[in-house]
Amino acid sequence: MAEFTDGAYSRLEDAAVTKSLLPLMLIACTQDPSVNKIPAEPAITPALVDFGELVVGDSMTVTAHLENLANAGYLTFSDPVWSEEDPAFSHGTWTGTPISGGDKGELELTYSPSAEGGNKAVLQFDTDEETMLTVSVEMIGVGVAPDIEINPEQIAYGAVEAGSSTSEMVQILALGTGDLTVNNIGIRGGDSAFSWSIRGGCAMPCVIENGGAKTLDVVFAPGDDAVHVDELFIDSTDPDEPQVAVILSGNVVTTENTPPTVEILDPTAGESFVNSTSVPITGLVYDPDELATNLTCSWFANGGRLSALNIDADGTITGSDMLPIGVSVLLTLRCTDLEGAIGEDSVNVEVADAEQPLSYTISGGDSLFDYFSIDDDITFYLNGAVLYADTNGEKDTLAPLEFDARPGDTIRIVATDQQDCAKNLTGLLLHWGTGESQPLNAEICDSSCSTDACYSGSYEGPWPNTFLDETYTISIP
């Protein structure tokens, strides 16, 4: 029988231990290494964005965060997709950059209500293939249209001795929908004889709950016996009348008074403008009781006061200002005499957003509504793409063509004569609004048939033929 030394026994023991550990080593070598990886944890905060009440036409933006809550690893979020869409909501650009553990990215969410009522949308993000998880953010908001009403709109204090004072009340009512916020109150011309205070106090901006009211005490305390005329103006979140005013007059002797007669001369009703251009405005005022230069006159657009104006001795009132965007912007000229009597005139105009395509019309005359005739076919192209085509091979009378485009875009007109005898096309004009037009082609009328009014004897075809192929660049407005 063989004998072993101590060293031999030691080597045998080591071999036995190694043999017993071999299965565990093999398992460790063949196991999926991802079991040791810390998984990414996607999240978006906040998961619910409540914009609350927002005045129609206003916009609010908040920032949401896309996060990887894990301590390690990277996580990629897909481009956002609306799982529930509402045009009142929009989002910024998401780059999809991988987010490391514990880090986050930003995404802007915007609410812009265009009408009264509740809005809701859900924005969803998928994550990369390793996690296959989805996160989403829900957005809610309510579009409101507060309506301010003031009572009275005019205060005549009468005669007040120098050093004395008298007070009248003005009530501000919050009607419409949503709370009304009064942002500022002041005396337009800064006449120190007039002052105001809010009963019970209310710091600016002063919020008046829907259906509620605030009372102003408006004081007239002249330091002399002179005539004082000014306005108390109130700025608020009413989207239609962002500024209203109360006419104030004191130390004015009341007589048989005729209010001023006011007329807007320019612009005329229905004219169109863009918000990037200052609009010249002209009016005329007449008052049989006093000089035109003694009147207080102001221009307003949707209730908001425009910039300063000039008034001459003949009563001609001129000014120029940028107008707010709107399909129907109410432009008003209002004049007040020394006794507080008011005369005004208003017109509705359209003001387009210069950043958006404008509405154009091609017609057969000076108005937007004039039809035009073609013998036989015509095709209109906008920037190379077909806009409208009449290709039935017959003479037709066509309605005006309406479309959206931008200044600098091109219009190509191709007219063809398919049948022998007459070629004809009305002279066309491009219109923007009711105030600006651009002539296109001159009238074309020729015929090889002696019975036609346009017979010339020189028109001999051939048929079919193209008798107009011209490209025009839009230069209006």
- In this prediction, residues 49-77 reach a mean pLDDT of 89
d(CA 237, CA 148): 8
Residues 6+ apart with CB under 8 A from 357: 404, 405, 406
Q: Which of 235, 254, 273 is the last residue of a domain?
A: 254
Give how many domains the chain has, as a whole number: 4
- Amino acid at the residue 167: S
pLDDT digits (tens, 9 = 90+) for 289-314: 889 988 889 898 987 788 778 899 99
Q: Are residues 303 and 236 in the same domain?
A: no
Instruction: Write down the pLDDT at residue 161.
Output: 93
Place of tokens 């200044």: 407
Last residue of a domain, one of 303, 322, 356: 356
Q: What is the pLDDT of residue 290?
A: 87
- In this structure, the answer to whether residues 350 and 289 fall within a common structural domain is yes
| Whether 285 and 298 share a structural domain | yes
Q: Is 333 in the same domain as 367? A: no
Measured distance CA(414)–CA(179) in Å, rounded: 57
- pLDDT > 90: what percent of the chain? 64
The closest alpha carbon to 188, from 114, 248, 123, belongs to 248
332, 299 in Cβ contact below 8 A? yes
Quote the CA–CA distance of 274 and 353 in Å, as a whole number.
Answer: 6
- Of 3-17, 290-304, 432-446, 448-462, the least confident: 3-17
Answer yes or no: do 336 and 412 share one domain: no
Residues 6+ positions from 102 with CB-CB distance below 8 Å: 68, 69, 70, 71
Separation CA 336–CA 188 (nearest Å)? 14
What confidence tier does 262 reach under pLDDT thresholds 50, 70, 90? very high
Q: Residue 30: inside a domain, yes or no?
A: no
Asked if the structure places residue 70 within a domain, the reply is yes
Residue 159 counted as domain residue: yes
Please give the pLDDT value at position 89. 97
404 shares a domain with 318: no
Claim to verify: residue 125 and residue 164 sit in the same structural domain: no
Residue 237's domain spans which residues?
145-254
DSSP lists the bridge partners of residue 318 as 282, 310
362 lies in the same domain as 465: yes
**Does residue 163 lie in a domain region?**
yes
Together in a domain, 319 and 366? no
Q: Answer whether residue 34 shows pLDDT above 70.
A: no
Tokens 């209730």, residue located? 303
Residue 6 lies in a domain: no
| Distance from C-alpha of 312 to C-alpha of 332, rounded to nearest angstrom | 19
Q: What share of the chain is helix, strand, coil (3-state, %, to 5)?
A: 5, 50, 40
Pair 152, 117 in one domain? no
Which one-letter DSSP state was computed for residue 462?
-
7 falls within a domain: no
> Does 382 score more than 90 pLDDT?
yes
- CATH number for the domain harbouring residue 300: 2.60.40.10
Same domain, 194 and 285: no
β strands within 96-204, DSSP E: 99-100, 104-111, 117-126, 134-144, 146-151, 154-156, 166-176, 180-187, 194-198
Percent of the chain residues past pLDDT 70, beyond the cut: 91
Question: What's the pLDDT at 409?
Answer: 97
304/7: higher pLDDT: 304
- Provide mean pLDDT across the span 271-283: 91
Q: Say which DSSP state 10 is in.
A: H
Residue 415 within a domain: yes
Strands laid side by side in the 377-382 sheet = 385-390, 377-382, 410-417, 465-473
Average pLDDT value for residue range 82-92: 95
The label of the residue with tokens 């957005």 reads 139
pLDDT of residue 30: 40
pTM listed for this prediction: 0.57
Q: Which backbone phi and psi does 289 adopt, to 5 degrees?
A: -95, -20
Grade residue 218 by pLDDT with cuts at 50, 70 and 90. very high
The answer to whether residue 31 sits within a structural domain is no
Among 189, 219, 254, the domain-final residue is: 254
Q: Judging by beta carbons within 10 Å of its beta carbon (0-12, 13-18, 19+), is residue 303 exposed, middle or buried?
A: middle
Q: Domain check: are 389 and 430 in the same one? A: yes
Residue pLDDT, tens place only, 336-366 = 888 888 899 999 999 998 888 999 999 999 9
Q: Which pLDDT tens digit goes with each residue over 389-445?
A: 999 999 999 999 999 999 999 999 999 999 999 999 999 999 998 889 999 999 999
- The answer, yes or no, to whether residue 477 has pLDDT greater than 60, is yes
Distance (Å, whole) CA 270 – CA 272: 6
